[in-house]
Amino acid sequence: MDFGVMIFPTDGAIAAPTLARAAEERGLESLWLAEHTHIPVSRRTPFPGGGELPSQYWHTLDPFVVLAAAAAVTSRLRLATGICLVSERDPIVLAKEVASLDHLSNGRVLFGIGAGWNVEELEDHGLAFSDRWKAVRERVLAMRALWTQDEAEYHGQFVDFEPCWSWPKPIQPGGPPVILGADSKWAFDRIAEYCDGWMPIYDPRRNMDRRLEALSEALERRGRSLSDMDISHYGVPPKLSHAEKACHGVNRVVLSLPAGPESEVLPILDECAEIAAKLA
């Protein structure tokens, strides 16, 4: 069992190099970063978590800049997006960013992806909410082509480019693991088609066995197996009771850190390390 931590990397939170070094020193496996490019002030879309949207959502740094800083001061820590909003990014540029980070970190990237929940945020990027998953699919498939082919091309509704050269290729063969952060009834077919793993947000009320069974069935329909999947429980409260429950059926537990200063975060990181030592 691996244990990682996630944080909103904001302009008021602990510095990325400090957090990355501290996580690696404590034996944690991975650092995961949330992303929002911006939050429209209209706030038409309700916050899925209920109540007011926390300000950390519109104070996030770019995750790839932060992960590059983390890569520079670590040697073992896996560098992960949790999640990268592929729906809001140009796939040619994003493929280059991910490959560059994987190249510079010697193959330590985990590429957690999603489509987004904020309707007006997606609209500002020129994408209708109803089209977000179609666009994610095409962009991931196009990125895989750019990562693996000497002369890559892709032709779809949302992504269309002629044969091109794009280097560097990722260090990891085929590119970093693509791990889907979604939990709808359609998520499992999407994972089976174009992903390497799944990262549901932790909810102790949900039946994990039933969800894993549905994922297994979707994979089998495409000749794939659950044993090949990278499965993480994401956003787990840093408490032993939650972590114990979150371990069921997954290979990684990602504990949640507050987007606070060093003095607040490091003691909680110590607690995360203690949990990992007890359960790993």
Closest Cα partner for 182 from 144, 145, 136, 219? 136
pLDDT at 77: 98
Phi then psi dihedrals of residue 161, to 5 deg: -145, 150
Angstrom distance (rounded) from CA 255 to CA 59: 21
Question: For residue range 185-217, what is the model confidence (pLDDT) as tens digits?
Answer: 999 999 999 999 999 999 999 999 999 999 999
Residue 264, pLDDT score: 98
**160 φ, ψ (degrees, to nearest 5):** -155, 110
Q: Tokens 């069921």 map to which residue? A: 248
Domain ranges of the chain: 2-279
Is the separation of the CB atoms in 131 and 87 below 8 Å?
no
Q: For domain 2-279, give the fold.
A: TIM Barrel (3.20.20)
Reported as a single tens digit per residue, the pLDDT across 78-135 is 999 999 999 999 999 999 999 999 999 999 999 999 999 999 999 999 999 999 999 9
Q: Are 6 and 256 in contact (CB under 8 A)?
A: yes
124-127 contacts at long range (C-beta below 8 A, 24 or more positions apart): 124/38, 124/40, 125/37, 125/87, 125/88, 127/87, 127/88, 127/158
Confidence of residue 280 (pLDDT cuts 50, 70, 90): confident
Whether 19 has a pLDDT exceeding 90, the answer reads yes
Sign of CA dihedral 174, 175, 181, 186: negative
Q: What mean pLDDT do residues 153-170 have?
A: 98
Amino acid 38: pLDDT: 98
Interatomic CA distance for residues 134 and 94, integer angstroms = 17
